[in-house]
Amino acid sequence: MFDALNLASLQPPKYHPPKSRLVDLFGVKVLFHSISDGGRYLTEDDLEPFRMEGDPLVDEIFVLLRKEQRPIRPYDDLLSMARAAHDNIDIKKAEPSIADDKMSKFVEKYSKLPDWVDTQQLERGQRVYLAYTPAMSMSLYYRSLVPGFSLPKIAAVLQATGYLTPPSSRESVMNRLSDTAGMVLACMLSMGSLLPGGKGWEACLHVRFLHAKVRDRLMRNTRWDLKKNGIPINQEDMAATLLAFSHNSLLGVEIALGRPLSETERLDYTALWRYIGWLLGVHVNETHQERNIDPLGPGWDKSRPDPLEHSKAVFSSILLHLMKPDDSSIKIAHHLLHIGLSSEKLSKRDDDWFYFRAARCRQLIGDPLADALKLPYHPTWLGRLRMGVFMSIYSVVIFIYTIGSLPWSPFRFLVVEFHRNRIERFFQNWETTHSKRMSKTFKKAKSSCPFGFLSGMVESDLS
């Protein structure tokens, strides 16, 4: 198993520019060189304004619909409403309301690919995911989801809605994790799934509207601390999440492999998630006059564009700004590591499985952060020995499997197609089971948003 704190991609350069400084980020040395001093890193003062910016394009639609006495309900499918508004305007069926006009313009904007999108690069990015699915999946869970609650300002939204956090039941959390996987895998099915009207395209916009529903609901709730946490699901939060799915996933593969993937594969995967983030409402810098975070873009300095260095700098900047584990971080991390075990009262087998998960998480994030989250070791020396042996075997298997997925490997094509078939089967099953859950939850609704189940849970948790 390779050291998560000493990855080649995270090593600071030997040359330290003037006004740069080495800082410790839970065991990782970061050479912090702020943009005001010619570097790429963002200070707290740089990042705070983004906490007061949500998704203005969609948030305005919610306000306008409410003014027109058409407030969005949990099960309403805003994408279908927007498409209907667009179609009605196209055929000049009636004079559109202001809200309908805004929805129509939204559909028009996202029905065209931006000029900066290269569809061949997106397709190559999908193949990167399909090649390294196991390592990336482990990274998403152990490097992103579980330690992600070490960022209390982001976790505040999940705690306010009860999403993934105690006292959510195991079944509820597993359903919600499955729904997140459904969105991600919809984006990896094929190039057609990402194009306007495709399954991935639709899933991203549905999730974007779900975020807007949560944001709208929390902003109208007197218990939400705007001064402390900023606007719910703001641009910094969304940038951090996007980087967790992209930059952090690539680091997970590097941990499994012992070396970074090629620059081409990393750039392709970064470009894929930049487009997905754009669909989800993360602002990009389409001109160099804009000053959005654009976490997977080339950076603000047009003389030295570098998406990989920019994403690394932005992710480290956000973690330095927000990663401050507290008691709730510990509680939620342990809750997630217990998810999927057979009973509330752990059997010995479940107990060992929990310790294995904690050890796996520790391997992927490093001891300093694992200690801050109080991830336990097995309490007996024999248990720790068994755990060490099992972890070593497990790591070797993942290493060999990942090696076999590299571009030069004769097995690469077989691995990609195997993962593609498994993803298609999972997605088909997810669509069926999710549709049944939706029908059961919203029996009286004529039509509903595919992610309305989550929205309904949010409404009940906030009421």
Burial (0-12, 13-18, 19+ Cβ within 10 Å), 393: exposed
Higher pLDDT, 171 or 231: 231
Higher pLDDT, 40 or 165: 40
Lowest-confidence segment of 53-62, 149-158, 213-222, 262-271 by average pLDDT: 149-158
In the predicted structure, residue 305 carries a pLDDT above the cut 80? yes
Lowest-confidence segment of 122-131, 159-168, 275-284, 408-417 by average pLDDT: 159-168
Q: What is the pLDDT of residue 350?
A: 60
Three-state SS string across the chain, please?
Answer: CCCCCCCHHHCCCCCCCCCCEEEEECCEEEEECEHHHCCCECCHHHHHHHHHCCCHHHHHHHHHHHHCCCCCCCCCCHHHHHHHHHHHHHCCCCCCCHHHHHHHHHHHHHCCCCCCCCHHHHHHHHHHHHHCHHHHHHHHHHHHHHHHCCCHHHHHHHHHHCCCCCCCCHHHHHHHHHHHHHHHHHCCCCHHHHCCCCHHHHHHHHHHHHHHHHHHHHHCCCCCCHHHHCCCCCHHHHHHHHHHHCHHHHHHHHHHHCCCCCHHHHHHHHHHHHHHHHHHCCCCCCCCCCCCCCCCCCCCCCCCCCHHHHHHHHHHHHHHHHCCCCHHHHHHHHHHHHCCCCCCCCCHHHHHHHHHHHHHHHHHHCHHHHHHCCCCCCCCHHHHHHHHHHHHHHHHHHHHHHHCCCCCCCCHHHHHHHHHHHHHHHHHHHHHHHHHHHHHHCCCCCCCCCCHHHHHHHHHHHC
**Helix 170-186 crosses helix 327-338 at what angle (to 10 degrees)?**
80
List the one residue out of 123, 118, 146 whose CA is nearest residue 375: 146
In the predicted structure, residue 331 carries a pLDDT above the cut 80? yes
Percent of the chain with pLDDT over 70: 88
Confirm if 232 and 157 have CB atoms less than 8 A apart: yes
Q: How far apart are CA 166 and CA 159, in angstroms?
A: 8
Per-residue pLDDT reduced to its tens digit, 234-280: 999 999 999 999 999 999 999 999 999 999 999 999 999 999 999 99
Any idea what the Cα angle at residue 150 is, between residues 147 and 152, rounded to 5°? 140
- What is the number of alpha carbons within 13 Å of residue 392 lying toward its C-beta? 6
In the predicted structure, residue 117 carries a pLDDT above the cut 60? yes
| ω into 379 cis (within 30 of 0) | no
Q: What is the pLDDT of residue 442?
A: 60
Per-residue pLDDT reduced to its tens digit, 332-380: 898 888 875 544 444 555 678 889 999 999 999 999 999 999 999 999 9
Q: What is the pLDDT of residue 88?
A: 85
Widest CA span in the chain? 75
- Residue 210: phi and psi, rounded to 5, are -60, -45
Residue 453 — very low, low, confident or very high, per pLDDT cuts 50/70/90?
very low
Q: What is the pLDDT of residue 344?
A: 47
Q: What is the pLDDT of residue 15?
A: 87
Please name the residue that has the structure tokens 């990393």: 266
Residue 455 — very low, low, confident or very high, per pLDDT cuts 50/70/90?
very low
Q: What is the pLDDT of residue 179?
A: 84
What mean pLDDT is predicted for residues 198-221? 94
Per-residue pLDDT reduced to its tens digit, 96-113: 899 999 999 999 999 999
Distances (CA, A) of 338 to 164, 180, 357, 381, 414: 12, 19, 8, 22, 34
Q: How far apart are CA 463 and CA 461, in angstroms?
A: 6
Q: What is the pLDDT of residue 118?
A: 97
What mean pLDDT is predicted for residues 116-127? 97
What mean pLDDT is predicted for residues 286-297? 84
Residue 454 — very low, low, confident or very high, per pLDDT cuts 50/70/90?
very low
